[in-house]
Amino acid sequence: MASPASEVQLTTLHSSHDEEATTLTATSSNDLHPTTPRRQLVVLITSFLTICITVGLNQSYGVFQSYYTSSSQTMLPVSTSSSALTAFIGTLGSGLTWSGSLFINPILARLNMKGTKALCLAGVLCMSLGLGLASLCSQIWQLLLTQGLLYGIGSSLLYFPILSVAPEYFNAHRGSAMGFILSGSGMGGLIFSPLIRALLSAIGPRWTLRALALLVLVVSLPIASMAAPSRFVGRRPTRIDIKLAMKPSFLFSVGAGFLQAGGNGLPLTFLAEYSVVLGYSAGFGATLLAVSNGVNSVSRIMSGFAGDRFGRQNTLILTGVLCVIFVLGFWLGSVSGGNKVLWIVFVMLYGVTGGGYNALFPTTVAEVFGLQAYASVNGFIYFVRGLGTMFGSPVGGKILGESKLVNYRNVVLFDAALLGGAMFCVIGVRCWDAVDKRTWKWKA
């Protein structure tokens, strides 16, 4: 990571008839407003809760997926509840949460603090409205528009105004801080997965969606009202410099973002459904998803600490390698023999390593490309991650076809291919970052 006193050369491209380029040279330490421990604490808590409510709900969609494809569901016509289509509802919401960055970051750069809070408020209302309207649906296309599209837009409007500025408030312990913040996804999944399963059993799908709509409104409105401003004195660049975009380290980062997002979501999307295929109850499948999210939450915090101690890129590579090993070793082994023990072991181990990439990815972006370029680079890569999310699970559902044990073999191999590609891309970022900086550091 560049030192606070080092100069960062920034080039922002403006759309005009002459397409003129403006170059800004600034010193990072002078470009940031001072902060206080109290403000850092507010950013830490609001960011954690934002992740909890947005990504936590996204990672709990597997419970809805299992319900929508079950024979006991009462919301959709049985003939239309295929794994591929129902998986796309959740991945559309998750994908839009990430991919909205490409449009939201440029808007944020032009808003003052009141405008930022208004944007967050609009996001809360869209999320709540999406879930509320979903309770009135009776067709998959209607759920795609409400629980998928409208909810996903709202989730992105809440997520990025708060999370895009969070790394600016931390320096020496940025990895630990972001690890804690991003652990909110696992904590949210730990809470929402059993809650949704219990509500589906007690009050049915329609009132479950209405209850979630109310919960989002109550929890997220205070978060939106406390959204923190960017610490940068001037406007942050939100467009990618062409020279930067052509760097191998950037291209590898984009590839890693797409492939990892596609592969990371597959086990979570089909976790509850696959558990039922193995012979577990739907309730146990939801509990297992909650346990995975809980382990994932702790893992993100520990990954942040490990990244600060051993190097964020090093830790990122290690988690990527372990993800591929666990998918091929334990999930594939479970499919081959219908082994429940291997499946439980996989859920636990993948929960440990699967959160590592998501916890360390934002900090490595700041480390490789500089804090000043964080908003533009991170925003673009998150847009690509959104596309990856919308690619992975629906394609996995199409490969699966009918939810039978033998059909999961190709799904597991597809997942391993995505995660393996992401692993090689992350290694590529590590190597080319050293080339760009003309120095190799073992701790990076």
In tens, the pLDDT along 337-371 reads: 888 899 999 988 888 887 777 777 777 777 777 76
pLDDT of residue 146: 95
Intervals of the chain under pLDDT 70: 1-32, 79-83, 172, 175, 231-238, 371-372, 374-375, 444
CB atoms within 10 A of CB 239: 17
Tell me the CA distances in angstroms from 28 to 6, 32, 33, 111, 143, one per residue in order: 7, 7, 10, 22, 46
CB of 286 within 8 A of CB of 379? Answer: no
Between CA 125 and CA 285 the distance in angstroms is 31
Among 210, 79, 236, 70, which Cα is nearest to 146's?
A: 210
pLDDT of residue 232: 64
Among 196, 73, 72, 55, which Cα is nearest to 137's?
A: 73
CB of 161 within 8 A of CB of 120? Answer: yes
In tens, the pLDDT along 390-442 reads: 888 888 888 888 778 888 999 999 999 999 999 999 898 888 888 877 777 77
Q: At 418, which amino acid appears?
A: L
Between CA 350 and CA 324 the distance in angstroms is 9
Q: Retrieve residue 397's tokens.
A: 């559902």
pTM: 0.73
Question: b/e string for 252-267 if b means 16 or more Cβ within 10 A?
Answer: bbbbbbbbbbbbbbbb
pLDDT of residue 218: 94
